[in-house]
Structure 1
Amino acid sequence: MTTTGRRLTTSAMIASFVDEGQKTTSAPFGHALSRLAEQRPEVVGLSADLAKYTDMHIFREAHPDRFFQMGMAEQAMLGAAAGMAEVGLVPFASTYSVFATRRAYDFLCLDIAEPGLNVNVVGGLPGLTTGYGPSHQATEDLAILRGMPGLTIVDPCDSVDIEQAVPALADAPGPTYLRLLRGSVATVLDEYDYRFELGKAAELRTGRDVLMISTGLMTMRALTAAAELENDHVDVAVLHVPTIKPLDREAILRETAGDRLVVTLENHTVVGGLAESVASCLAFAGAGVRIVPIGLPDEFLAAGALPTLHDRYGLSVPEIKKRVLAELS
């Protein structure tokens, strides 16, 4: 307690990364899914007792007859979603990323991916978006899922990405996995003449000296770092990669063709995520390009307040700038 009797709070469970004064949108996933359901009666929502924490409660309130509370049973939820998809429904099933990937992998693989069903799995708290430690930090979800045949994987940057991705995922054949940012989500990409396109990367900034290839919330960080690096006379381009699978190999090969420093940024372990996706893309094409990976280490992370953890593990803007300047020196 403080001397005034006010309880100290931390940002341990906050899954939104909003700078002071930054524009936000409330629960973009929940509202986008509700709007989609008004147009498409086959859309249904499921939750593993986490509707409030994955913004599925917005859909539940708007379409109570099309919402299914499955309890703390992710395997059963994905099995039920598979059955719904078999009869022509389009399910969106939400839980925390750790439970969707670690706990329910076999059901996602054999009940959904193998028959190619249009089930959309929505994973909250991806990567280091909670301070509650390894039981809730899905630092390896991309590595777990990238090898699953036929699965589309999307890591959105902000509310714009999420709102536009929801109908695109519903239209996509086969299963999808969305890394969810929930609550008050930053709205950034509306300033960049951007439109989400499944399987496509987007150049948000041009630059002579450095190319940042980023995904998820790290695109927000990349854009801020790029703007601040102008003060150090460093010209930085930013290529946003919202779709991890299928990867936009053509854009990556095109943008890395010059002699710029190439840096990847991801809210995920450096093992098996964006950095290795980019590296394999370049290697398979015979492009001898060195990349600098900015991401989480290959270890179980500490618990604590998120700003402290992001500084510690190199995801904050000051740490990104420090790493880039060190590589250029």
Structure 2
Amino acid sequence: MKKKRYKNKGLKETRAGFGKALTFLGRTNHKVVALCADLKTSLFMDKFSKEFPERFFQIGIAEANMMGIAAGLSIGEYIPFAGTFANFATSRVYDQIRQSIAYSYKNVKICASHSGLTLGEDGATHQSLEDIGMMKMLPGMTVINTCDYNQTYAATIAISNYFGPVYLRFGRPPVANFTSENQIFEIGKAIVLTEGKDITIVSTGHLVWESLEASKILYEKKGIECEVINVHTIKPLDENTILKSIDKTKCIVTAEEHNYWGGLGESVARILTTYHHNKKNKEYSIIQSLVAVNDIFGESGKPMELLKKYDIDRNSIINHVEFVLKNKKK
């Protein structure tokens, strides 16, 4: 089977894709406003603030206040993009998000940078490994986790046209930029990147590229055909695309830069359990293995070294694939 190849077009920060898209939105939609908690340079919001000072609000290190102001601006039919680090955008302000944004279904876009282990040297106090779980449990909250610069740009544009609260998660370091520059981002629609008959790999965020690289190695060295699916939207989850794939492969590995409690893998396990229960064939079974952080806080270190240490890099994906295939029911 001929495998589709994705080329790394160069390393770029996903947060830079957000900043560029935000500036574009500022020029094309006068309802878009931006709020920041003293991190506008880190989130590439500088250009927006210079071009549209009347629509940029520097709140300072007062994230709870920022969420309340964003909720208020949405009442005035503005589209607020509130930006800070993922840890501060969730743990520090969960009450305000729940009460002022999610409960009343405000049209606020919570833009969370520096997520996961790849925040790197700032260490455990800043690395957010539980944010997806926290946000996906809020009724009505859409949760998006983008994989590269181009996809983050497209996602930022897409959520401006979507009414409702959104949690947009992206990262700090330069990573492979491999998706299409002209892509149309469809909220809630997973993307099958490569087709395969042996095993399904469902991944999100920075681990999408790691999954593609693992898939390439497995095919070239062992002839294993992996079906790699980019799940950029954690909620609502594209159940149909995932179930269609596992109907073919009968096994799955999920890969994410997040604690395995509350993340993508747990969401996939839920739909597999429901699907298994509804199948008439009592012998029908699916093996799933989760590539995720094993219920532990992070630490300081270089991003790629941390992925390796916490067993969520491409080599770990390969090991999980081989384990699943070894135990797959024939």
Q: Same fold (TM over 0.5)?
A: yes
Note if 1:315 corresponds to 2:302: no
Partner SS state of residue 145, structure 1: helix
* Runs (5+) with no aligned partner, structure 1: 1-19
- Can you list the C-alpha shifts for 1:181-239, whole angstroms capped at 9, x where unaligned? 35645321129x95421011111100111210011111111111111111221111101
Note if 1:117 corresponds to 2:106: yes
- Aligned residue in 1 for 2:66: 77
- Aligned residue in 1 for 2:44: 55
- Aligned residue in 1 for 2:273: 283
The residue type equivalent to 2:314 in the other structure is V
Check whether the contact 1:28–1:185 (CA below 8 A) recurs between aligned residues.
no
Note if 1:233 corresponds to 2:228: no
Note if 1:103 corresponds to 2:85: no
Partner SS state of residue 272, structure 1: coil
The residue type equivalent to 2:102 in the other structure is A
Change (3 A) 1:167 1:143: same
Partner SS state of residue 146, structure 2: coil
- Aligned residue in 1 for 2:322: 325
Check whether the contact 1:213–1:262 (CA below 8 A) recurs between aligned residues.
yes
Distance 1:23 1:170 in 2: 27
Check whether the contact 2:118–2:302 (CA below 8 A) recurs between aligned residues.
no
Distance 1:281 1:59 in 2: 41
Note if 1:304 corresponds to 2:301: yes
Note if 1:269 corresponds to 2:250: no
* Runs (5+) with no aligned partner, structure 2: 1-6, 280-284
How many residues align? The count is 309
Query: Which of 138, 145, 153 is the equivalent residue of 2:135?
Result: 145
Change (3 A) 1:107 1:175: same
Distance 1:284 1:77 in 2: 39
Partner SS state of residue 154, structure 2: helix
Check whether the contact 1:54–1:180 (CA below 8 A) recurs between aligned residues.
no
Partner SS state of residue 130, structure 1: helix
Query: Which of 33, 36, 39 is the equivalent residue of 2:25?
Result: 36
- Aligned residue in 2 for 1:245: 235
Q: CA deviation at 1:160?
A: 1.9
Distance 1:82 1:239 in 2: 34
Check whether the contact 2:82–2:109 (CA below 8 A) recurs between aligned residues.
yes
The residue type equivalent to 2:313 in the other structure is S
Change (3 A) 1:293 1:194: farther
Note if 1:167 corresponds to 2:154: no
Distance 1:84 1:96 in 2: 21
Normalised to the residue count of structure 1, the TM-score between the two structures is 0.89
Note if 1:196 corresponds to 2:193: no
Distance 2:234 2:193 in 1: 17
Q: CA deviation at 1:58?
A: 2.9
Which segment drifts farther, 181-190 or 287-296?
A: 181-190
What value does the CA root-mean-square deviation take over the aligned residues? 1.9
Check whether the contact 2:21–2:156 (CA below 8 A) recurs between aligned residues.
yes
Partner SS state of residue 42, structure 2: coil
Q: Identity of aligned pairs, percent? A: 36
Distance 2:12 2:123 in 1: 27
Which structure carries more helix by proportion?
Answer: 2
